[in-house]
Amino acid sequence: MSQRPLLQETVASQIRRQVDEIYRSESRRVFATLIRLLGDFERAEEAMHDAFAVALEQWSRDGIPASPRAWLVSVGRFRAIDSIRRLTRFDASLSELAQLGETSMQDEEELEDDRLRLIFTCCHPALSPEAQVALTLREVCGLTTEEIANAFLIAPSTLAQRIVRAKAKIRDARIPYQVPSLADLPERLESVLQVIYLVFNEGYAASSGGTLTRAALSAEAIRLGRLVMLLLPEPEVLGLLGLMLLQESRRTARTSSDGDLILLEDQDRSCWNQAQIAEGRVLVMRSLASR
Amino acid sequence: MQYMLLIYSDENTWTEREREQCYADSVQLTQQLKATGQYLAAAPLQSIVTATSIRVRDGKRLVTDGPFAETREQLGGYFLIDAPDLDEAMQIAERIPSARKGTVEIRPVVMLSGLPS
Same domain for A46 and A120: no
Question: B43 has which bridge partners?
Answer: B78
pLDDT value, residue A94: 55
Q: Which residue of B has its CA nearest to A178?
A: B87
Same domain for A138 and A71: no
pLDDT value, residue A263: 87
Complex prediction ipTM: 0.86
The reply to whether B1 touches chain A by the CB within 8 Å rule is yes
Distance CA(A253)–CA(A276), nearest Å, equals 14
pLDDT value, residue A260: 79
Q: Is the pLDDT of residue B74 over 90?
A: yes
Domain of residue B64, CATH code: 3.30.70.1060
| Residue A123 · residue A227 · CB < 8 Å | no
Give the burial string for A24-58 (b: 16+ CB within 10 Å, else e): eebbbbbbbbbbbbbebbebbbbbbebbbebbeee
The reply to whether B6 touches chain A by the CB within 8 Å rule is no
| Beta-carbon contacts below 8 Å between A and B | 22
Distance CA(A161)–CA(A131), nearest Å, equals 10
Contacts with A178 from chain B: Cβ below 8 Å: 87
Contacts with A180 from chain B: Cβ below 8 Å: 87
Same domain for A114 and A46: no
Each residue's pLDDT tens digit, A223-270: 999 989 988 899 999 999 999 999 999 888 888 777 778 888 888 899
**Closest Cβ–Cβ partner in A173, A176, A178 for B108:** A173
In a domain, A20, yes or no: yes
In a domain, A273, yes or no: yes
Structural domains in chain B (count): 1
pLDDT value, residue A7: 64
pLDDT value, residue A203: 80
Q: Is the pLDDT of residue A87 over 80?
A: no
Q: Which residue of A has its CA nearest to B85?
A: A174
Same domain for A115 and A74: no
The better pLDDT of the pair A61, A239 is held by A239
Same domain for A82 and A5: yes
Distance CA(A277)–CA(A249), nearest Å, equals 6
In a domain, A225, yes or no: no
Mean pLDDT of all residues in B88-112? 96
Same domain for A174 and A116: yes
Mean pLDDT of all residues in A12-24? 88
Structural domains in chain A (count): 3
Give A96's pLDDT tier (boundaries 50, 70, 90): low
In a domain, A238, yes or no: yes
| Residue A122 · residue A191 · CB < 8 Å | no
Contacts with B106 from chain A: Cβ below 8 Å: 173
- The answer to whether the Cβ–Cβ distance between B87 and A175 falls below 8 Å is yes
- The answer to whether the Cβ–Cβ distance between A176 and B84 falls below 8 Å is yes
Same domain for A198 and A284: no
Question: Can you give the residue range of the structural domain that contains B37?
Answer: 2-108
Question: Can you give the residue range of the structural domain that contains A185?
Answer: 109-217
Q: Is the pLDDT of residue A215 over 60?
A: yes
Q: What integer best gives the mean pLDDT of chain A?
A: 85
Same domain for A254 and A205: no
- The answer to whether the Cβ–Cβ distance between B85 and A175 falls below 8 Å is yes
Same domain for A71 and A33: yes
Mean pLDDT of all residues in A70-77? 94
In a domain, B116, yes or no: no
Domain of residue A74, CATH code: 1.10.1740
- The answer to whether the Cβ–Cβ distance between A174 and B90 falls below 8 Å is no
Same domain for A97 and A124: no
Give A186's pLDDT tier (boundaries 50, 70, 90): confident
Contacts with A184 from chain B: Cβ below 8 Å: 87
Q: Is the pLDDT of residue B65 over 60?
A: yes
| Residue after which a domain boundary falls, among A217, A247, A266 | A217
User: A249-258: which pairs have CB atoms within 8 A and are 24 or more residues apart?
Assistant: A249/A273, A249/A274, A249/A276, A249/A277, A249/A280, A251/A215, A251/A218
In a domain, B117, yes or no: no
- The answer to whether the Cβ–Cβ distance between A174 and B106 falls below 8 Å is no
The better pLDDT of the pair B88, A100 is held by B88
In a domain, B42, yes or no: yes
Each residue's pLDDT tens digit, A109-125: 666 688 889 999 999 99
| Residue A55 · residue A16 · CB < 8 Å | no
- Of the listed ranges A6-10, A67-71, A241-245, B43-47, the one predicted with least confidence: A6-10
Residues 6+ apart with CB under 8 A from A5: none
Mean pLDDT of all residues in A83-89? 75
- The answer to whether the Cβ–Cβ distance between B86 and A180 falls below 8 Å is no
Give the burial string for A126-142 (b: 16+ CB within 10 Å, else e): bbeeebbbbbbbbbbbe
Same domain for A239 and A213: no
Q: Is the pLDDT of residue A10 over 90?
A: no
Q: Is the pLDDT of residue A211 over 80?
A: no
Distance CA(A267)–CA(A150), nearest Å, equals 29
Contacts with A173 from chain B: Cβ below 8 Å: 86, 106, 108
**Phi, psi (rounded to 5 degrees) for B76:** -120, -5
Q: Is the pLDDT of residue A205 over 60?
A: yes
Contacts with B1 from chain A: Cβ below 8 Å: 174
In a domain, B113, yes or no: no
- The answer to whether the Cβ–Cβ distance between B108 and A180 falls below 8 Å is no
Same domain for A5 and A85: yes
Distance CA(A44)–CA(A31), nearest Å, equals 6
Q: What integer best gives the mean pLDDT of chain B?
A: 95
Mean pLDDT of all residues in A134-163? 90
pLDDT value, residue A111: 63
| Residue after which a domain boundary falls, among A70, A85, A106 | A106
Q: Is the pLDDT of residue B27 over 90?
A: yes
The better pLDDT of the pair A94, A19 is held by A19
pLDDT value, residue B49: 93
